[in-house]
Amino acid sequence: MTCRIASLVIITLGMFASLGTPQSPNSPSPSYTVHIVGLREAEISPDDRWMTALVLKAPKTVVPTVEVQVWDFRNAALVRNRELETAARVEPGEAEYVRYTRDGSLLAAYAGDGVIHILSANDLQELRKIQLDSLSSAIAGLEISATAHVLAVRRVFGRGGDLRIYDLNNGRELRSWKLASGAYELGLAWRSDGRLLAAAVSDSIPCTRFGGTIYLFDPALEELAGRFRVSFLPGDLVFGTGNNLYIATSTCGGYFANWAPDLRIYDSTTGRQVGRIPGNKLGIRRSIAISEDKKRLLAHADREMTTFEGFEDTLKTSDEEWQVRELPTGKLSFTLPPGQRYLMSTSGNFIVESLSNEVRILSVPTRAN
């Protein structure tokens, strides 16, 4: 998820020129709507043909289970479905994941219980399970390499954690690394060539002024490939073109000031900042995604201010929205309303809006030449 920046001049000058006027283009209307009762997570296939969903099935008389469903989303037609063989105990606040391999042949699904299910994307046959060694550890990131059937899983437990990679073809663990104590649940990203992983570790909880560390892992090496510090609390992170690493902030707004942080871009090999997308009147925070071709960015943005009210600090958020931007210029294409959860398809051609019982899929307008 990244965009190779030719030079700092392109970012600082070109983006100021394109983003100087705080316009907020209207968002497109949903192109497709699929009603799914109990929806937990959704992902569009790399070829943009199917949508796969994790669905909580909760009959009144039995223990809730989770079903994987594949939809022809253009026609709102259920194509196939399969109940996961292990009855999932969905814990409050625990994340669920469904991910395609880039060739579209396999699915990795996680719905709790410490079990990752590996399915054939064609018929949903369960090929194998990956049983994690600790059911008490929460998964804070689950991403598949863009070049191989290799799965990265980030876990947190207490104030520590680890990062493990698995071969999806046989379910075997290939490598594991410990993350520093004090780890906070943040980003996990593969570089486009599949030869580097990045994970962000925060020094403290979001509403503090401390920094964080970006850790880099090479799947071929047992030792750490590198690390570098950032002065802000890092949030989500994604690779763009080459070594460019986009890092959102999780630091809260300043006291009595509407703080709008830029989206900063680092060279992961040197740890130096090489560019930024100006936040203007809104700050780019926490969640970001970049399409496979590195031409589109989806980012959460808002304006925050911390105040003293009574004996407690109060964080106020205003003008919240989601933004779709062109890369590498950073020009704003359109905005999406707050309060929902949005995901970008691998191709960048669709934005998925996940509601409790419904998926709305928006076609991203093609940039006019």
Rounded to whole angstroms, how far apart are CA atoms 355 and 336? 14
3-state secondary structure of 103: coil
**Domains of the chain listed by start with CATH number:** 1-30+187-338 (2.40.128), 32-183+355-369 (2.130.10.10)
The reported pLDDT for the residue numbered 266 is 98
CA-CA distances (angstroms) from residue 14 to 154, 187, 255?
36, 28, 31
Dump strand ranges (E) for 218-295. Answer: 226-230, 234-239, 244-249, 263-267, 272-277, 283-290
The reported pLDDT for the residue numbered 15 is 35
CA-CA distances (angstroms) from residue 334 to 17, 166, 348?
17, 38, 14
Q: Copy the structure tokens of residue 352.
A: 């998925």
Residue 115: CA count within 13 A, CB half-sphere:
15
Please list the rounded mean pLDDT of every run of 10 residues in the chain (369 residues).
Answer: 33 34 62 93 96 85 82 97 72 76 96 90 96 76 96 84 94 92 73 96 75 94 95 93 94 70 95 90 90 96 78 75 93 88 94 91 77
3-state secondary structure of 14: helix
Rounded to whole angstroms, how far apart are CA atoms 121 and 109? 11
Which amino acid is located at 251 in the chain?
T
Q: Encode pLDDT of 10-60 as tens digits.
A: 233 333 333 333 445 667 788 999 999 989 899 999 999 999 999 988 766
Rounded to whole angstroms, how far apart are CA atoms 151 and 250? 26
The reported pLDDT for the residue numbered 308 is 73
Q: What are phi and psi of 10, to 5 degrees?
A: -60, -40
Rounded to whole angstroms, how far apart are CA atoms 240 and 291? 9
Nearest to 285 by CA among 270, 299, 265: 299
The reported pLDDT for the residue numbered 89 is 56
Alpha helices (H) in 51-185, listed in sequence order = none
The reported pLDDT for the residue numbered 302 is 87
The reported pLDDT for the residue numbered 109 is 95
Rounded to whole angstroms, how far apart are CA atoms 175 and 155? 14
The reported pLDDT for the residue numbered 282 is 87
8 A C-beta contact, residue 179 and residue 187: no
Rounded to whole angstroms, how far apart are CA atoms 352 and 363? 9
Q: Which residues contact 158 (CB under 8 A, 6 or more apart)?
A: none
Nearest to 252 by CA among 184, 321, 314: 314
The reported pLDDT for the residue numbered 22 is 41
